[in-house]
Structure formats: structure tokens, C-alpha cells
Structure 1
Amino acid sequence: MSSTRIRPALVVLGTAALLTTSVAVPQASGAGRTSTAPTALTWYDATAETIAAAGASAQVTNSRTWAVSWLAAARATRTVPAGVQRGAYQDAALAAAVHRALVKLAPSRTEQLDAKFKETLDAIPDGAAEDRGVAAGERQADLVVASREGDGLDPASVNAPYPVPPAAPGVWQPTPPAHAPATQYGNRLAKPFLLKSQSQFRLGPPPALDSRRYAADLAEVRTYGAADSTARTAHQTETATFWLGSSLTLYTEPLRVALTRTNQGIAGQARLVALFHVALVDTQIATSDSKYAYERWRPVTAIRTGTIDPDQDWTPLHTTPAHPDYPSGHNTYSGAAEAVLSALVGPRTAPFDLTSPTAPGVTRTYTTWKQLSNENVDARVFSGIHTRSADKAGITLGTDVARYVLRNAGPLLAAR
């Protein structure tokens, strides 16, 4: 499409909350591999490559690396000093901020990051704009990295030991086949970027075990999520497999597409990536808070040992992750991602293609961010690893956290 569509969007302005305005969004075709601010894309890809090559074992730790690096970039590019060339200053500031933060957080990639940084600086005219931009970027990186020291988002802290509660109806227990210890318990003890507390958006309780909602949830998972299900269609199985992997990995390309389609310039691009990952870190903290507050058992445990037509041989399509059911972490991630992208880029976009490492050879096409959320809700049911109530609650939680982050981001984005 070559036309330009006008639609409302939310843009972070000053140190106040997000305000509603009207902006023009170019409707590019394909995956959007061009931009008026190529430096942002260069360092977006460098960040993704760094995470892929030297990332941590915990998803939230990698989200933290994204958030720290790009928050520094957003601060450094937000204001341009008088008397220097704006584009050169912002290019240098963004590159310096992301480079400096990534070298500190992923030192094994220093050689590759240094080479990329040199390439960026070689393309910027020498002079005051470049020098002052580099200084600003490095200063903000140092400040943000220092502010997050000891935040409890390292893998060891994230996966702090969790004492398994005594077995009882509805209570989480280690799941087959590995019966592995619970993971991500420590998330609920970590320091958020913006939430006032980890429990600020704690969900209400899951459906009662004697409720119609619970019975319907369990019947749906039993029917459509079984490994040997005859009700699940080939397309539904594909959906489950497509969205099986890490949400961070699966949303890296949609965020990149959005990055190419914002018309807010390099400062807006840095802000988009920063707020996306700040929201996602806080969402993952809030997710674990609700998960371990309610300790709801997984469908495989409920179906095998519960009172509703127990079946000791029932097996889900995909292996159940080692943490409680409610809410679904994939869907808290989706809800937050959808909220941020819809606010800062708009809810609709030109078609873009997406592939998945867990579904080789499959390509899906999307025109709204909500489509990604809808598929995630279905996918976890079809995988047999979440109830629909846990999925929908996840969307709600992620949306609530992201909207709070967007409303209160002004002071966080201000340069120090």
C-alpha cells in the first residue's frame, strides 16, 4: 500500500504522561526493512545478535538487557544541545549508549560490538556533534546500568528455590515428564523499573474448582490439548507449535517491524524499544507474583489427579513448563506487547510476515498486533499447557502493566 493512514496514537511527551495525538503512519509493505533512521535499526539488530549469541538462560534477564540498553539510548537522544547537528548527535548518542551498555552486560561480545560501533562512527562526520553524542550516550549507559545493579534479575535470583507446597486439589505440583523444580519464582522478588510493587497488578483468583468456568476450561484443554487429540485441527496444532518458543524471540521481529514504521525519528525509535522492554520486564515480574500467589496447578495435574473424570494417562501436546498455570506468561507478554505497540505505532499496520524457530517452514502474515495475542491465547490451550482462563487473565495483566508503564514513563526517560 502506498497511501498514508491517519489514526490516533499515544506519544510520550516531556516528563508528563502519555498524551493522545494524531500522527501519519506510512503503510509499508513486507517486513519493513528500511527506515529514515538506519542507526536505530543497526543497533537493534546488534542487540538482537548479542542476545542470541551471549544471552542469559532466563528470558527476563535478556529483556532487562534490552531495556537497560535502549533506555540509555532513549535518554541520550531525547534532547539535542544547541549548536550541534541534530542527526549526527543523535546517531552518535544512540550508538554509544547501546554499545556501552551491551559491552557491560555481555562482555563476551565486546569485539563484535566495538567493530559495529566503529562502523557507525565512521559514517558520522567528525566534530562536536559526534563527540558530544558519544559522551551523552556513554554517560546515560553508565547511569542506567548502575541503577539496575542488584535488581534481582540475574538468572540465579530469577530461579530462586521454591518450596513445593503439599499436594492438594488445585495446588501446583512438579509436572511430567521431568517433574522439574519450579522456575521463575524469584521474579516476584525482583526490582521493577516502574511498578510501585511487584504485586501492584496482582490478578483476582482463578476460577473456583467447583465452578462452571473451571469445568469448561478443563474440558477444553482435555479435548484440544491432548497429544493424541482427534478434535484439534492441523491448523490448530500448527498454531500451538508456532507460538511454543520464547516470547522474547517471537516478538523480536514484530517490534523491529514497528521500529521501521514509526515516524517519530531516532529518538522515537529509541523510546519505542525502551518502553517495550521496560514494560515487558515489569510484566514478567508481575506475572510471577500472580503465579506464585495462587499456585494454581497445571492442566496435566488437574486432569490426571482431579475429581472431574480423572485420566492418569492424559498427556499434553507439548511439555508443560515448570511453574504454575495462572496466569499464562506467554499471554502476559502478548498483552503488554500489544498495548505498547498499539499505543506507540497504532493497532494496525501493513501486512508483515513472521516465522518461528519452533515451526520451521511456516510463515504467517499479520496486520494487527492483536492477532498475535489472539493466537497466543489459543496456542497455549492447544498445547495442553494452560487453561483459557489463565490465558485471558494473562492478556489482562500484561495490558494493565503496559498501560501503567506508558502513563508513568516520563521521569524514567528523562536524561540524568
Structure 2
Amino acid sequence: MHRSWPNNRLSRRLLVTSTAAALLATTAVAGPATAGSQVDTAVEWYDVTAAAIDTGTRPQVTSSRAWAISWLAAARALRHAPGVRAYQDAALASAVHTGLSALVPENTAALDAALATTLARIPAGTARDRGIAAGRAEASTLLAQRADDGLDPASVNPPFPTPTPAPGIWQPTPPTFTTGQQAGNRFATPFLLDRADRYRPDPPPALGSARYLADLAEVRVYGGADSTARTQAQTDTATFWLGSSLVLYTGVLRAALAQSRKPAAWRAQLVALFHVALVDTQIATSDAKYAYLRWRPVTGIQAGDDPTWTPLHTTPAHPDYPSGHNTYSGAAEQVLTALVGPRARQPFTITSPSQPGATRTYDRWRPLTDENVDARIWSGIHTRSADEVGVDLGRRVAAHALRNAHLLLG
């Protein structure tokens, strides 16, 4: 089992970047999909996808799977006829429509209407017909291949027996004391990982160790509901990044897509590989969480000398180590850095469902990761060790996905 980063991280990063660049180079010879006032079909269907996938009714990884399948089908279909706009637009829209119609059937009517809008502006003819057929065929093939992959809601959240109470061992947390969630992710079929524990990190700091005591003390001081050490800016950061990582990063990936000057095939691959990497990351995260079953800070602090301590935000119902928010941010940063570069072409602004009305503007991907690390501590729901190890795990799984992307894209 691979337990540690290689010594030469720069070489590894260059390898990942060069591998990804070589993979996408074959489609990076034409201009962007838009010209003048023409509709950008990739962005159009990105927004259709975001609207169709209701993240409030499905586990996050199930929603990530819907993104991955639909856009991977589009990426495969767009490998053909790269210079024919009618084919490209029809193939992209038809692939995503077919995938989403199967995976979120309750939104079929809206998806049908979106497809009709797209197809109505594409000139009738052989190119459009071929594009429609290719998109449908690629999506149907992928849907069949990913059937019974263990990422449906029931498989993701099977009944999980609460472990026998013991020092350091995860227990349901207040106020709801919900049983362990997302325990089934670790048994799902990844897209590119050969096994869920391929990059499982080393165990968390030992109870009573200097690192463990420092971790818990930091959360106790800065993450408490009544903390006097936490500043308003830190509280705002914790609240902004509290919600679903999938929702929070939807605007980030959209900015990378909309700002790209690459052709449609490359842009579809960007969206597809982002979500393929994130599905595999969430599987690896579940593996590590339920392998180590490390208790949450609220449990450790209350078991010590502060039984009335409560966190700023409600603790999610699964173990502490590693932090899922930070495996997500680490993987997202890795994909965007390798395929787009370390910064966006232009500053972009995102919103947060957990802090309505607030916006944050960035021009690089790394600050989002850094904020996620601190945010979970200031929320009182993760230790710094869980956050930092989470970032590393996400980066490593994403790097694996990029190195092996040719197995999915051809």
C-alpha cells in the first residue's frame, strides 16, 4: 500500500501535467467553440447539468457520478469530426442529455426542452444527425458500463453499526447523533483507481501525542460556538465553505470552462476528468475514514475536560480523518492546475449556499484549498491533521486519474 509522497514532488507534478497535456493536445489545435454572438454549447450544457442535478436529494458522490458519466460520454463523442461545429454541438448536447435523462429522470422534461433549444439552432443535415447518434451511443455505452457500480444512494448509505465506544473511536455526534453516513462509498467501483485504498494515508496522530493535543487544542480555541479567539473574518470563511463541495466548486469549474479558448472536445474532457477524479477521491476518502474511525473533535473535547463544548457548526455524520472537504479541494486543485494552469485566465466570483448573499473572488485555485483547510477547523468539525492529509489524498488520487485518463478517453 503506497503510504507517502515521493521525495521529488516537483518531478511528479511535471509528470502529471505533461501526461495530461499530451492527452489533450490532439484536440487543442482549433479555436474555442464560440465565435461572435454564437451560443457556447459547452457552457450552455454545463448550466443545464448543474440545474438538473439536485444535490439536495442525492449523496454528493452520486451527483458527481452523474456529472462524470454524462460529460465523459460527451468527451468521447467529440473526439470525432473536430472541425465540424454542427456535429460537435449536437454530439455534446445529445450525450449529456442522454446521460442525465437516465440518471436524473425526474428532470427529463427540462432536459428535453434544453435539447430541443440546442438542436433548433443547429442546421439540419448529416453532421447534426451523426452528432446526435454519437452522443446517444457513447452515453448509452457508459451507462451500461457503470450500472451497479455502487454509487446509487442506497449503496452509498447502507446501515452502519456504531462502533463500541473507546478512546479515539468515532461515535455519533450531537445534536442529532446520526449513524455513520457514506460508509458504502468505499465499496463502490472507481473510474480509474484499481482499489479504494491505493493511496490510503498513514494513520492519524496517536492519542496523547504532541500533534494530537495541538490539533484538539486548536479546534477547541478557534472552533467553539462561543469562541472569543475566532475573528469575524474566520467565522465568515468557515460559513462560506460549510456547504457541499460539489455545489461550491460548480462555479469554480464553470469559470475554467467559460474562460477556456480550447475547442469543445478539450473542454468536455476538462469537465469529465474533473468529476471522474472527484468520484474516485470520494471513494478513497470513505475508505480512509472508515478504516481509521477517528473520533470527531467534539467527541474528543467533550471526553476530556470540557463536556459542554460545542462546535460553531454541526458536525457531519462520519469520521474525522481525513476531511472530505479537503480531499475534494485537493483533487479539484490538482485537476485544474494540471489542465488549465495554476491560475484562471481572469478573476472569477463564486457564491455559497451556506452564506447567502456572500461572494468571493479568486484568480488562482490554491487559495480555495488553503481556505478549506482553515475553514473546517474554525467550524469546529475537523482537526488540522485531517484537513492537511485530506488535501494530500485528493491531490494524489486526482494525479492518478490524470495519468490514466487515456484508459477512459482513448
TM-score normalised by length of structure 2: 0.91
Tell me which residue corresponds to 1:319.
314
Residue 42 of structure 2 is aligned to residue 40 of structure 1: yes
Unmatched tracts of structure 1, length 5 or more: 1-7, 27-33
SS of corresponding position for 1:194:
coil
Structure 1 residue 13 displacement after superposition: 6.8
Question: Residue type of the partner of 2:222?
Answer: Y
For 1:119 and 1:272, locate their aligned partners in 2 and report how far apart those are by CA, in whole Å.
24
- Equivalences for residues 193-208 of structure 1 within 5 A: 193-208=191-206
Residue 358 of structure 2 is aligned to residue 362 of structure 1: yes
For 1:278 and 1:363, locate their aligned partners in 2 and report how far apart those are by CA, in whole Å.
27
Q: Please point out which of 262, 265, 275 is paired with 1:264.
A: 262
SS of corresponding position for 1:323:
coil
Q: 1:313 to 1:23 in 2, by over 3 A?
A: farther
Tell me which residue corresponds to 1:31.
none
- Equivalences for residues 11-410 of structure 1 within 5 A: 38-52=40-54, 56-80=57-81, 86-306=84-304, 310-349=305-344, 350-410=346-406
8 Å CA contact 2:31, 2:262 repeated in 1: no
SS of corresponding position for 1:332:
helix
Unmatched tracts of structure 2, length 5 or more: 1-13
Q: 1:267 to 1:104 in 2, by over 3 A?
A: same
Give the alignment's Cα RMSD to 1 decimal.
Answer: 2.4
For 1:36 and 1:11, locate their aligned partners in 2 and report how far apart those are by CA, in whole Å.
32
Structure 1 residue 12 displacement after superposition: 6.4
8 Å CA contact 1:13, 1:410 repeated in 2: no
For 2:384 and 2:372, locate their aligned partners in 1 and report how far apart those are by CA, in whole Å.
10
SS of corresponding position for 2:354:
coil
SS of corresponding position for 2:168:
coil
Question: Residue type of the partner of 1:393?
Answer: V
SS of corresponding position for 1:280:
helix
Tell me which residue corresponds to 2:5.
none
Question: Residue type of the partner of 2:234?
Answer: Q
Which whole-Å deviations, capped at 9, do the CAs of 1:277-326 have from their partners, x for residues lacking one? Answer: 000000000000000000000000000114xxx21000000000000000
Q: Please point out which of 392, 407, 410 is paired with 1:411.
A: 407
Question: Residue type of the partner of 1:191?
Answer: T
Greater share of strand residues, 1 or 2? 1
8 Å CA contact 2:302, 2:308 repeated in 1: yes
For 1:373 and 1:324, locate their aligned partners in 2 and report how far apart those are by CA, in whole Å.
20
For 1:106 and 1:197, locate their aligned partners in 2 and report how far apart those are by CA, in whole Å.
27
Q: 1:210 to 1:164 in 2, by over 3 A?
A: same
8 Å CA contact 2:31, 2:263 repeated in 1: no
SS of corresponding position for 1:78:
coil
Structure 1 residue 87 displacement after superposition: 1.2
- Aligned-pair identity in percent equals 63
Q: 1:12 to 1:143 in 2, by over 3 A?
A: farther
SS of corresponding position for 1:200:
coil
Aligned residues: 392
For 2:19 and 2:409, locate their aligned partners in 1 and report how far apart those are by CA, in whole Å.
9
Question: Residue type of the partner of 1:383?
Answer: S
8 Å CA contact 1:55, 1:106 repeated in 2: no
